[in-house]
Amino acid sequence: MSDNTKCVLGLDIGTTSTIGILIALPDRVLAKASRPVTLSSPNVGWAEENPEDWWENVTDIIPELLEQSGVQAESIKAIGITGMLPALVLLDQNDAIIRPSIQQSDGRCGAQVSEIAAEIDEAEFTQTAGNGINQQLIAAKLRWLEQNEPENFNRIATVFGSYDFINWKLTGNKAIEQNWALEAGFVDLATNELSDALIALGHLSRDCIPDKIRSEEILGHVTQSAMQATGLCVGTPVVGGAADHIASGYAAGVTQPGDMLLKFGGSVDVLIATEKASPDPRMFLDYHLIPGLFMPNGCMASGGSSLNWFAEKFAGCEAKAARDAGKTLHQHLDVIAATTPAGADGVQVIPYFLGEKTPIHDTDARGIISGLSLNHDVRHVWRAMLEGYAYALRHHVEVFEEMGHPANRVLASDGGSNSLFWMQICADVLQQPVQLLVGHPGSCLAAAWVAAMGTGLSDDWSGIDRFVTYGELLQPARENAELYDHGYRLFRETYIAQRAARALAT
């Protein structure tokens, strides 16, 4: 490799794994590596991780990337980090970790959310902070700590997020990246600055919250101690970083207003690029990585996780047939479900098996399988599961339209997008073409490109497009439009009836 090669390192501090990528500008992936992360749930609804595990993974991954690529550390000219948000990491006055991180999916603070909602006007809060009063708010998590772990709450000297923590370990500098700050509920949209009044909702001193930094802004440089731990060069610049779902959307090509990404992982994310904020409590709001744009988004509580659950618990009868056909169980279920008609012969699934986040924000919602008869089997239920998630996506698209954000182009990425059967169902339910991607490296690529932009190694936000190619464009089957319109109406009516029944029961 030439001594003039300019390389950029991207790291993704994910919920289930830490991933690293090393790219050579302008358009080559040199190496990727990952390490698993342990998610613990010591009580019902809790989700925690040990931040030191993230750092240990980083110190393992970087030398592996250097070895894989044959690149010398001196060739790495910039570093960017992405991660889940808003995970909560707490340090004491000696910079020791106080307790395991409280993850963004943690559901322990429902009472504190209600407490905040009773104190302030939600509509006013949403217009000010850009997001509604929900369990994403760091103030609600902090109040939970205050009420349940006062000894830990009283030790808090620093509050920040997952990738903010790794940035600090690399540079010695503390900051909170702009989207962590926004989803945490700490930013006044009118000024794009941290708000003392919003931070005060968490009952902590303002001094505990580091300054906010833009994603592409240089935070600091690799320190001597970080060099010894990772093999990086002292002085390598590190930028503010990025929220993982926003980074994934950007890397997938969501760069123009109206571009929408359907991201099929353990949960399902829906993101759209816009020129205006339009705060709405039904959705989350983030800044786009491209300055001047926003990326409103939704996140379902489940997705692939529920499909895995169904396959494991209820579809074991098909395991031998899948093996005999040389397919995974999921692939086999797609094949046999394709022999059933659109609409699954009247079977419908409401996939709120873990409650639901956007757009209903109902932690007490539950999954429903309706329309079953003795002529149905696993094929019908599998198809109804896939259709149920497509209906939930349509609900998100409908809300975005009500917010003034119609989708002009729909892209699909991540594991679930490998199911052409499922993606065709989505195209049919949405009645919009769905563009599949090939070779999407994920959030870590966007983190690397943001670092390239922030350090002047590139001046082209669209340059990231060189790393991703488009696959098949799935056109909607017009003959299924009326059937799926009816199915969607039934989907919404069934949930509303369930919610009303719960209200009466209480």
State residue 506's pLDDT score.
77
Among 197, 213, 244, identify where a domain stops: 244
* Structure confidence at residue 409 as a pLDDT band (50, 70, 90): very high
Do 208 and 336 fall into the same domain? Answer: no
Residue 164 belongs to some domain of the structure: yes
Question: pTM to 2 decimals?
Answer: 0.92
Residue 127 belongs to some domain of the structure: yes
Stretch 237-252: mean pLDDT: 95
Residue-range definition of the domain harbouring residue 96: 7-244
Residue 464 belongs to some domain of the structure: no
Stretch 65-79: mean pLDDT: 97
| Residue whose C-alpha is closest to residue 357's, from 326, 395, 331 | 395
The proportion of the chain whose per-residue pLDDT surpasses 90, expressed as a percent, equals 89
Residue 440 belongs to some domain of the structure: no
The answer to whether residue 91 scores a pLDDT higher than 90 is yes
State residue 368's pLDDT score.
96
The answer to whether residue 497 scores a pLDDT higher than 70 is yes
- Rounded CA-CA distance 435/413 in Å is 9
- Rounded CA-CA distance 20/231 in Å is 14
Stretch 289-298: mean pLDDT: 96
The answer to whether 135 and 110 are in contact (CB under 8 A) is yes
Helix (H, G, I), strand (E, B) or coil at 51: helix
Stretch 88-105: mean pLDDT: 96
Residue 363 belongs to some domain of the structure: yes
Residue 287 belongs to some domain of the structure: no
- Rounded CA-CA distance 429/455 in Å is 43
| Residue whose C-alpha is closest to residue 453's, from 5, 25, 22, 1 | 25
* Structure confidence at residue 49 as a pLDDT band (50, 70, 90): very high
- Rounded CA-CA distance 441/242 in Å is 15
Do 212 and 328 fall into the same domain? Answer: no
Do 144 and 228 fall into the same domain? Answer: yes
* Structure confidence at residue 106 as a pLDDT band (50, 70, 90): confident
State residue 279's pLDDT score.
96
225-243 tens-digit pLDDT: 999 999 999 999 999 999 9
Helix (H, G, I), strand (E, B) or coil at 488: helix
Stretch 422-450: mean pLDDT: 94
Do 24 and 131 fall into the same domain? Answer: yes
Do 98 and 172 fall into the same domain? Answer: yes
State residue 2's pLDDT score.
54
Sign of CA dihedral 329, 330, 336, 340: positive
Among 217, 244, 271, identify where a domain stops: 244
Stretch 408-435: mean pLDDT: 96
- Rounded CA-CA distance 315/220 in Å is 51
Stretch 77-92: mean pLDDT: 96
Nearest 10 degrees: CA dihedral of 225, 226, 228, 231?
Answer: -160
How many structural domains does the chain have?
A: 2
The answer to whether residue 1 scores a pLDDT higher than 70 is no
- Rounded CA-CA distance 81/131 in Å is 24
Stretch 184-194: mean pLDDT: 97
Do 20 and 153 fall into the same domain? Answer: yes
Do 314 and 196 fall into the same domain? Answer: no
State residue 439's pLDDT score.
76
Do 67 and 216 fall into the same domain? Answer: yes
Q: Does 41 or 118 have the greater pLDDT score?
A: 118
The answer to whether 386 and 425 are in contact (CB under 8 A) is yes
Do 219 and 353 fall into the same domain? Answer: no
State residue 135's pLDDT score.
86
- Rounded CA-CA distance 441/203 in Å is 40
300-327 tens-digit pLDDT: 989 998 999 999 999 999 999 999 999 9
Residue 162 belongs to some domain of the structure: yes
Do 14 and 153 fall into the same domain? Answer: yes
The answer to whether residue 466 scores a pLDDT higher than 80 is yes
Record the tokens describing residue 506, joined without a space.
């209480």
Do 48 and 174 fall into the same domain? Answer: yes
* Structure confidence at residue 207 as a pLDDT band (50, 70, 90): very high
Average pLDDT, the chain: 95
- Rounded CA-CA distance 129/126 in Å is 5
The answer to whether 159 and 138 are in contact (CB under 8 A) is yes
Among 200, 224, 244, identify where a domain stops: 244
| Residue whose C-alpha is closest to residue 178's, from 125, 247, 121, 235 | 247
Sign of CA dihedral 230, 231, 236, 241: negative
Residue 424 belongs to some domain of the structure: no
Do 215 and 360 fall into the same domain? Answer: no
CATH number at residue 140: 3.30.420.40
